Amino acid sequence: MLARVFPLIDHRQYAQQQSAQSFADPLPTGNVQDRLQRPLRDLRISVTDRCNFRCAYCMPKEVFGSDYPYLPHSSLLSFEEVTRVARQFVALGVRKIRLTGGEPLLRKNLEALLIQLAELRTSQGEAIDLTMTTNGSLLARKAKALKAAGLNRVTVSLDALDDRVFKRMNDVDFPVAKVLEGIEAAQASGITNIKVNMVVKRGVNDHEVLPMARYFQGTGVALRFIEFMDVGSTNGWNMDAVLPSEEVVRTIAEHMPLVHLPASAAGETAQRWGYAGPNGQYLPSLGEIGVISSVTQAFCGDCNRARLSTEGRLFTCLFAGQGFDLRQLLRSAATAEDEQLAREIATVWQRRSDRYSQLRTPWAELPDRAAIPKPEMSYIGG
Ligand code: SAM
Ligand code: SF4
Ligand code: SF4
């Protein structure tokens, strides 16, 4: 049998350096915008490139084997460095910070980082919205400590309720029950805003859409269905495996009536649907679902998200070929001024014109997908 060959492009080798604004320019504050007038509001921080799962859509076993060259510890930003960078982002307009990875709960003593980030304040003195995306495998053990450290929201990824299907998807034989235990522990710890992310792959777990919706209805947990995305270059993506969100909504609505809900915040990635009560109106006690249609209905128009990779590179798009090296700045004694950091970040954002998802459709017109270099999700942070 022929071995599968993946066109692996190591984005960790490509750092982009740009000259900052001149010091004569006023320091940008509060409302920095990119070339398409999109503000900077959301920062996703990858705290590790490692994971204990091997979801085929993200870290397929064939590529991320035991000999995979993960980043050495010295390459990672320290918690102090992460907080210092995050502080500049908040000064430039960021209101929401999401810790991600890899699996963020594998990073030792993550609570210490949460404590530091929870202390950040906007220029109006408001706390930032602090959240995390996790596979839930370690949540039962850590929920209490995370809450105590300042985590008020969490998103847990769970792709199926059927144990066999879930184990096939995480590819490390991890049972559903332990993730559900993690979600319950998060609820019990007082984390109030809990979401569940389900990546839907046609022919793999699409038959789990309805059981998942039924299970989480009325529990206070909002279920989000994510279209299988063409991130990175190792997950063997193809359009046939994408179940369009429209089909997800139709499937659920046939059994559990839904009403469309307005977006809760500008730049929100999910379209929200609430469960309707007997009178056909949204019944909040039944809760809501969301669909994230990154493939079939691109939402670049109001994308306000920046990503900080595990080793401190700033990416302005999930599909950006290059990241801007903030770590080099942070660690260089000559330029270690917070003001310069803020100027560099602002410059990168102001030059941004990314809208990959909009440009890549319609599918038929895309000449050679493999030729477009894209970073891996586990490195850049989802
Ligand atoms: N390990 C954590 C987890 O799984 O929640 C955090 C990192 S993971 C990269 C963040 C999110 O990205 C998860 O909800 C995961 O399901 C999603 N994801 C990863 N690869 C994806 C893909 N190819 N398409 C859509 N979503 C993907
Ligand atoms: Fe790990 Fe999350 Fe990627 Fe799955 S989606 S392999 S849990 S980082
Ligand atoms: Fe934002 Fe890039 Fe995704 Fe468009 S493709 S929504 S610009 S991250």
Give 306-335 pLDDT, tens digit per residue: 999 999 999 999 988 889 999 999 998 776
Neighbours of 379 (CB within 10 A): 25
More confident residue, 127 or 20: 127
For 137-164, what is each residue's pLDDT tens digit?
999 999 999 999 999 999 999 999 999 9
pLDDT at 267 over 60: yes
**CA-to-CA distance for 155 and 101, rounded, in angstroms?**
13
Q: Is residue 143 part of a domain?
A: no
Q: Which residues line ligand 2 (CB under 6 A)?
A: 51, 53-55, 58-59, 101-103, 135, 157, 378
Specify the number of domains making up the chain. Answer: 1
For 101-136, what is each residue's pLDDT tens digit?
999 999 999 999 999 999 999 989 999 999 999 999
Q: Is residue 141 part of a domain?
A: no
Does the beta carbon of 134 lie inside 6 Å of ligand 1? yes
| Contact (CB, 8 A) for 251 and 207 | no
| Contact (CB, 8 A) for 356 and 318 | yes
Dihedral sign for Cα 60, 61, 63, 68, please.
Answer: positive
Q: Is residue 144 part of a domain?
A: no
| Torsions phi, psi for 29 (to 5 deg) | -135, 160
Q: Is residue 17 part of a domain?
A: yes
| Contact (CB, 8 A) for 133 and 96 | no
Q: Which domain holds residue 204?
A: 8-24+36-134+152-380
Give the CATH number of the domain where residue 333 resides: 3.20.20.70
Ligand 3 centroid – CA 90 distance (Å): 20
Q: How confident is the model at residue 285 (pLDDT cuts 50, 70, 90)?
A: very high
| Contact (CB, 8 A) for 102 and 54 | no
Q: Is residue 242 part of a domain?
A: yes
CA distances from 282 to 225, 252, 290 (A): 19, 15, 14
Provide CB contacts within 8 A for 327, sequence distance 6+: 77, 81, 311, 312, 313
Mean pLDDT lowest for which of 50-64, 76-90, 333-347? Answer: 333-347
Q: Is residue 140 part of a domain?
A: no
Does the beta carbon of 103 lie inside 6 Å of ligand 1? yes
Q: Is residue 279 part of a domain?
A: yes
Does the beta carbon of 312 lie inside 6 Å of ligand 1? no
Q: Which residues line ligand 3 (CB under 6 A)?
A: 299-300, 303, 305, 317-319, 354-357
Q: Is residue 73 part of a domain?
A: yes
